[in-house]
Amino acid sequence: MTGPDAAEPLFTPELLDRCISCGFCLPACPTYALTQEEASSPRGRITLMRAVQTGQLPLADPDVSEQSSFCLGCRACEVVCPAGVQYGALLEQWRDAGWRGTGWWGSRRPLRLRALLFVAGRRRVIAALGRLRRAARTPDRPGSDQLLLGCFERLLYPRVSRSAVAVLPGVGATPSAGCCGALHAHNGALELGRAMARRLGAALPGTIVTTSGGCAAHLAEVLGRDRVVDASERLAGELDALPAGRLTTGDRPLRVALQDSCHLRNGLGVSGQPRAVLARIADYVEVAGADRCCGAAGTYSLLRPADSRRILAGKLDALEAANVDVVAVVNPGCLRQLRDGLRARRSPIRVMHLVELVAAAHDAAYDPGYGR
Ligand code: SF4
Ligand code: SF4
């Protein structure tokens, strides 16, 4: 694949032109922190995009392909950018262009990624497997707002889905609603991902309540911010209904840290709400780097496991140094990433989704077996 046709730019020119090359984003970028190389910084990647846009570099250039893949898509660069560069949108266009025309099953996507995207797109398969895993005890519960039961969350972490149903009593649950398409949009199938979000929006009219930052940000982008609310936002709006200081271990309050969801924090500006919920029900501990990507980054840990572990390592050090009992997450990908990393270290720190902790607080019983 070579440079683009001038009549059909790969990148939206107004998005690409917005960068003023100031470099304010460099300290925020986890991949730049690893390499200290300009090419793996947001500014360096935008320079590569511009070279592709003008035909100076082919899209298939090894450095271009490598940097498109090496980027976490965490969007930490967006929130510090004084020029309002929408880096996440540019990255979606980059990956979409990189894989466009290469076919689906015959594409260069790794087999595991193709299988993941294929399964996520099969609504009935996900719903059937979710029922086997008892993801929601109350199928098709009516409500004015609807809970999105995440595809992989209900298969891999059904207790998260069950906890969400339990702690959001006024919210309906429809296990057969389908996939939001975030994974597709972030992995080079932009239009398919958007179409899936629109289909889900039609299947779940009204406000969609999410337990995954990645799903929330994608749905908000396609359907509008007013259609989406994260569970942490909903819970923070009803703080008085949560049992204060309820989570304990032994004779002391449970020490709980948070791992932000990149897309929830950097895409939707939701970061204070989960902290407020945790501070209400436990002893909240702010750990340095909580706002930095954990390396899960959607499919990143599957596609680039070594880099993903390098990103994660410093975060695990900080959590262990802070001597916390539990790390709360607001995204199932972070749950898997942190749990795997801490298990590998034989750390006693547990990892739980925020809604699991809220459910435990209502039960007044923190089970030290949680999060194993
Ligand atoms: S992306 Fe934003 S912060 Fe980074 S170099 Fe461009 S204008 Fe500056
Ligand atoms: S999305 Fe994250 S990894 Fe990618 S350039 Fe921005 S800050 Fe760096």
The token pair that represents 135 in the structure block: 């993801």
Least confident of 95-109, 218-232, 255-269, 297-311: 95-109
Query: Based on the domain organization, do 128 and 232 belong to the same domain?
Result: yes
Q: Indicate if the pLDDT at residue 134 is higher than 90.
A: no
Please report the pLDDT score of residue 109 as a whole number: 58
For residue 81, how far is its CA from the centre of ligand 1 (angstroms)? 5
Does one domain contain both 175 and 118? yes
Query: Does a structural domain hold residue 372?
Result: no
Q: CA-CA distance, 27 to 199, in Å (whole number)?
A: 38
Mark which of 51, 76, 99 sits at the end of a domain: 99
Is 371 within a domain?
Answer: no
Average pLDDT of the residues in 97-110: 58
pLDDT computed for residue 39 by the predictor = 96
Percentage of the chain exceeding pLDDT 70: 84
User: Is residue 358 one of the residues assigned to a domain?
Assistant: yes
Looking at the structure, tell me whether residues 73 and 87 fall in a common domain. yes
Residues 124 and 222 in one domain: yes
- Give residue ranges with CB within 6 A of ligand 2: 28-31, 42, 45, 71-77, 87
- Is 174 contained in some domain? yes
Last residue of a domain, one of 78, 99, 120: 99
Domain containing residue 49: CATH number? 1.10.1060.10
Using a 6 Å cutoff on CB, does residue 313 contact ligand 1? Answer: no
Per-residue pLDDT tens over the stretch 155-171: 888 889 889 989 998 88
49 lines ligand 1 (CB under 6 A): no
The predicted pLDDT at position 114 comes to: 66
- N-term to C-term CA, the chain: 46
Helix, strand, coil % (nearest 5) of the chain?
A: 50, 10, 40
User: Of 49-63, 71-85, 133-147, 239-253, where does mean pLDDT reach its minimum?
Assistant: 133-147
Q: Are 109 and 101 in contact (CB under 8 A)?
A: no
Last-in-domain residue among 75, 99, 123: 99
Mean pLDDT of the chain: 87
Kindly state if the Cβ of 10 falls inside 6 Å of ligand 1. no
Based on DSSP, count helices (H) and strands (E) in the chain, helices before strands.
21, 10
Same domain, 17 and 59: yes
Closest CA to 267 of 95, 86, 96, 15: 86
Q: Quick check: 137 pLDDT over 80? A: no
**Nearest ligand, CA 22:** 1
Query: What local confidence, expressed as pLDDT, does residue 100 receive?
Result: 66
Residue nearest to atom 4 of ligand 2 (CA): 71
One domain, residues 196 and 88: no
Tell me the two tokens of residue 357. 């902790």
If 0-12 CB within 10 Å is exposed, 13-18 middle and 19+ buried, where does residue 68 land?
buried
Indicate if 216 and 292 belong to the same structural domain: no
Residue 273's CB: how many other CB atoms inside 10 A?
22
Q: Is the CB of 344 under 6 A from ligand 1?
A: no
CB of residue 20 inside a 6 A radius of ligand 1: yes
3 inside domain = no
Q: Which residue has the higher pLDDT, 165 or 115?
A: 165
Question: Is pLDDT above 90 for 103?
Answer: no
To test the pocket of ligand 2, the residue of 72, 260, 291 to mutate (highest count of ligand atoms within 8 Å of its CB) is 72
Report whether residue 19 contacts ligand 1, using a CB cutoff of 6 Å: yes
Between the alpha carbon of residue 296 and those of residues 277, 314, 318, 334, 341, the distances in Å are: 24, 14, 17, 6, 11
Query: What CATH number does the domain containing 280 carry?
Result: 3.40.50
Range of the domain at 256: 239-363
* Count of domains forming the chain: 3
Residues 145, 63 share a domain = no
- Cα of 367 vs centre of ligand 1, distance in Å, is 46
Which of 112-121, 172-181, 243-252, 324-333 is least confident?
A: 112-121
What confidence score (pLDDT) does residue 178 get?
82
Whether residue 258 sits in one domain with residue 232: no
> Do residues 284 and 232 share a domain?
no
Cα 300 to averaged position of ligand 2 atoms, centre (Å)? 12
| Across 133-155, average pLDDT | 72
- Exposure string over 26-62, b if 16+ CB within 10 A, otherwise e: bebbbbbbeeeeebbbbbbbbbbbbbbbeeebebebe
pLDDT at 5 over 80: no
Answer whether 76 contacts ligand 1 (Cβ < 6 A): no
Q: Is residue 104 included in any domain, yes or no?
A: no
For residue 23, how far is its CA from the centre of ligand 1 (angstroms)? 5
Q: Are residues 123 and 193 in the same domain?
A: yes
How far, in Å, is the centroid of ligand 2 from the Cα of 301? 15
Give the 3-state secondary structure of residue 335. helix
Residue 368 pLDDT greater than 50, yes or no: no
Q: Is 231 domain-assigned?
A: yes
- What is the atom index within ligand 2 of the atom nearest the CA of 45? 5
**What is the C-alpha separation between 71 and 40, in angstroms, rounded?**
7
DSSP state letters, 198-250:
HHHHHHS-SPEEES-HHHHHHHHHHH-GGGEEEHHHHHHTTGGGSPTT--EET
Q: Ligand 2 center to residue 75 CA distance, Å?
A: 5
Q: Are residues 255 and 169 in the same domain?
A: no
Query: Quick check: is 326 in a domain?
Result: yes
